[in-house]
Structure 1
Amino acid sequence: EQESVIALKIRSALCAPLIYRGRIYGLVYLDRNVPGAYNEKDLELLKTIAFILAPLVENARLWSQLKEHYDQAMATLRATEAKLIQREREAAYMRLAQAMAHEIRNPLMGIGGLVRRMLQKEGGSPWEEKLRTILGLAERVEQVMRDVDAFVRFPEPELHLERIDEAIGQCLQECAHHWQEKGIHPVLEIRTAQLLVPLDRQLFTHAFSLLLKEMLPGIPEESPCTLTLQDHGREIAVLAGEAAMEKCTGQLYDQELKRRPWSLSLFLNIAHKIISDHGGRMFFDPEGNSPYPFLMTLRRTIPMAPLEKVLNPTPSPGGE
């Protein structure tokens, strides 16, 4: 400092702090190369200037902070608006799917009934095998229509704290015959001590079983398949496949995944809806040829019910 004073030929200096509400915001500093350039009146004047400037500096800081909060609030509102628009669009798609399923089911049931009656009359004839093929195809479409109805009418999940490892183990057992047909050996690795997660056990196991069936074609035969439970910030993550955390960056409705034919699977979309209703998210490899590998994240806490729902609970059937 002494060298700076000598180099700059400073012979007189005057300074006053910018103090506002007990907080220092800066310093007003003057210097000259003339000895004795300032006196007590200059100091009082500088203090007065500092007294005026201090609240202006604080106001500028508050304005900048307010503008930052405003920009964040606007970004949040825009994101919320986009989500609401997307939900309205999804609701419209569901209504359209339900209407289409209804229109398709009526003639399909007629075709199925007609083929069944023909089979009763044509039993043992050369036409029997062809009629059974037609009936099998009609029944398959009927099942798809039932799945569409289920997709549209799925209830909201009733969340209770459940052990997620037990729920996934149940799904693996239910799908065991599918794994055995391809010689795949699934292994569940647990890397977290906190396994209690808010789940609707029935809906979650249904969704996870559908997801396992959808990813099965993407797993090579006679190969191991590792499912991993681990912490993911405040959430719990379910990973399937190697490097799932690095590869799985796209969500089902992202533009980069829409060009993947497997993303249009009805069962995968059913699983996605159920997991989303749980407050969870599903991520896939945008370059993958199937839903394998995948990354699923779930919340560890049960969200609070909206105030309106608490004050006006839905009456139970048969209640007063």
Structure 2
Amino acid sequence: IHRNNLIINLFISTMLLIGLITGLLHYMVIIPVQRLTKAAKAIAKGNLGKEIPVTKSKDEVGELTSAFREMQASLIKLTTDLKASSEELKKMYDFQKKLIENSIDGIVATDEKRNIVIFNERAEAIFGYSQEEVVGKMKIDELYPPGVSKKIERVLYDDNFGGRGRLANYETVIINKKGEQVPVWLSAALIHGENGKEIGTVMVFRDLTERKELEEKILQSERLATIGRGVSYIGHEIKNPLIIIGGFTQQVLYSTKDEKNRQKLQIVLEEIERLNQFLTSISDFTKFTKPQLSVSNINDIVNEVHNLIELELKDKQIKFVKSLDPHIPESLLDIKQIKQVLLNIIKNSIEAMPGGGNLTVITTLKNDHILIKIKDTGKGISAENLKKIFDPFFTTKPKGSGLGLAISKKIIEAHKGKIFFESELGKGTTCVISIPIER
């Protein structure tokens, strides 16, 4: 019995010892490891601030916990540094993006296959395409007229245009979405990768349209100044003899009774008058008078012009249609000059309809501008002649001076307005005039 009790006590003591050891292991090893596992999973999901339990143990579990805490601190620092670097990179990227987008010049970049990868807002304005239409969908060659792209590629590798691989202020032309050629200054540079291989090109375009127009105006002013000096002399030298010739012709006409001679003399007088009018037109053109502005209503001016030509319209069997916007406010205009413009254009329309037709005058208000449209159903104007329609002395009429529309253009521009024609052969012509309202 004593021996059996001893065995039972020994068994109980052993079980208690095993339980104690198991409890210590659970408390000192399993629980800390479970906590570390839970913390590791949280950190893996991005929760770097997950608290790792502190342990005072100096054993392997304690060392593992300390190593985990050091790793956590390193990860937090690395993440913080990466976030700071990322924010700095984002700031730099945003700055560069704004720099490109807000540039006064068009900026276009391509990859090594000449595909367009950057196309800023100014480029949109110059070329007429949106970024969505171009980036990743068009090659740079499509933005130039035929042959121009190859020429630019050649000079880009030439040492004489800013250095090999660089191009500075090279004057050329691009072609916009409408198919129109636009003069530009082009600066370009090749982009190289780390291995020195070409990976693309960046190009900067500056629209020269306004500059060219200004140069043309200056050139025209210089021409006109020269013409003016010549006209002043010639006008003086011709007008005086014309007056004398006209006077003598008039006397002879009154004194002769021969009908054939009278007809010939009448032709002489008509030609003298035509020459006088031509000299007056040249003088008006070269010595342009600034508009004498007064408060006027464009519809009243149109009605006055209609009254002046009403009989001629009936004689030529031309139907005159008016559509005048009553809501157009009064504006500062030179009544005499605007009347001259309307008469010039309407007379041209009448001459374009020798067999009769329709002539329509429309006035409307658009964006604080007076819009005047004069439409005829005449023979129309060829595309070639349309380009030269405002050139001084250009005319298709046997007895025209070629100054009527040139003077009209100067008058409208002096009113800070614009004038242009739309026409096709056989489909009539429309003249559009836009004048800002001045009060």
TM-score, length of structure 2 as denominator length: 0.50
Aligned-pair identity in percent equals 19
- In the TM superposition, 1:163-174 aligns within 5 A as 163-174=297-308
CA contact (8 A) 1:189 1:227 kept: yes
**1:80 to partner: Cα distance:** 3.8
In the superposition, relative to structure 1, how do residues 256 and 284 fare at CA in structure 2: closer, same or farther (>3 Å)? Answer: same
Alignment partner, residue 256 of structure 2: 123
Distance, in Å, in 1 between the alignment partners of 2:424 and 2:234 is 32
Opposite residue 417 of structure 2, the aligned amino acid is: G
Secondary structure at the counterpart of residue 299 of structure 2: helix
**Per-residue CA shift, 1:45-100, capped at 9, x if unaligned?**
20331343244224313432453369668765555444434444444444444444
Alignment partner, residue 226 of structure 1: 360
Distance, in Å, in 1 between the alignment partners of 2:363 and 2:82 is 65
Alignment partner, residue 387 of structure 2: 254
Q: Which moved more, 1:260-269 or 1:52-61?
A: 260-269
Alignment partner, residue 141 of structure 1: 275
Alignment partner, residue 435 of structure 2: 298
Alignment partner, residue 44 of structure 1: 80
User: Larger relative contact order (C-alpha < 8 A, sep ≥ 6)?
Assistant: 1
CA contact (8 A) 2:374 2:431 kept: yes
**Per-residue CA shift, 1:151-210, capped at 9, x if unaligned?**
333411122332111111011001112112113231211246224233111221122123
In the superposition, relative to structure 1, how do residues 231 and 42 fare at CA in structure 2: closer, same or farther (>3 Å)? Answer: same
**1:140 to partner: Cα distance:** 2.4
Residue 59 (1) aligns with residue 95 (2): yes
Q: Select 1:239's aligned residue among 364, 373, 379.
A: 373
Q: Select 1:280's aligned residue among 417, 424, 434.
A: 417
**1:139 to partner: Cα distance:** 2.6
**Per-residue CA shift, 1:250-285, capped at 9, x if unaligned?**
899834877872596333333332222222222223
CA contact (8 A) 1:249 1:284 kept: no
Secondary structure at the counterpart of residue 157 of structure 1: coil
Q: Which moved more, 1:60-69 or 1:198-207?
A: 60-69
Distance, in Å, in 2 between the alignment partners of 1:192 and 1:251 is 37
In the superposition, relative to structure 1, how do residues 257 and 271 fare at CA in structure 2: closer, same or farther (>3 Å)? Answer: closer
In the superposition, relative to structure 1, how do residues 124 and 190 fare at CA in structure 2: closer, same or farther (>3 Å)? Answer: closer
**1:148 to partner: Cα distance:** 2.5
CA contact (8 A) 2:316 2:355 kept: yes
CA contact (8 A) 1:229 1:236 kept: yes
Secondary structure at the counterpart of residue 261 of structure 1: coil
Q: Select 2:343's aligned residue among 195, 209, 234.
A: 209
In the superposition, relative to structure 1, how do residues 233 and 41 fare at CA in structure 2: closer, same or farther (>3 Å)? Answer: same
- In the TM superposition, 1:35-114 aligns within 5 A as 39-65=75-101, 67-68=103-104, 76-77=210-211, 79-114=213-248
In the superposition, relative to structure 1, how do residues 151 and 86 fare at CA in structure 2: closer, same or farther (>3 Å)? Answer: closer
Residue 199 (1) aligns with residue 235 (2): no
In the superposition, relative to structure 1, how do residues 77 and 59 fare at CA in structure 2: closer, same or farther (>3 Å)? Answer: farther
**1:110 to partner: Cα distance:** 4.2
Q: Which runs of 5+ in 2 are unaligned?
A: 1-43, 48-71, 107-204
Distance, in Å, in 2 between the alignment partners of 1:257 and 1:287 is 17
Opposite residue 256 of structure 2, the aligned amino acid is: G
Question: Aligned-pair RMSD on alpha carbons?
Answer: 4.1
Q: Select 1:132's aligned residue among 266, 281, 289.
A: 266
**Max radius of gyration: which structure?**
2
**1:286 to partner: Cα distance:** 4.4
In the superposition, relative to structure 1, how do residues 119 and 223 fare at CA in structure 2: closer, same or farther (>3 Å)? Answer: closer
Alignment partner, residue 137 of structure 2: none
Residue 188 (1) aligns with residue 322 (2): yes
Q: Which runs of 5+ in 1 are unaligned?
A: 1-10, 15-35, 303-320
In the superposition, relative to structure 1, how do residues 92 and 63 fare at CA in structure 2: closer, same or farther (>3 Å)? Answer: farther
Residue 265 (1) aligns with residue 402 (2): yes
Distance, in Å, in 2 between the alignment partners of 1:268 and 1:297 is 15
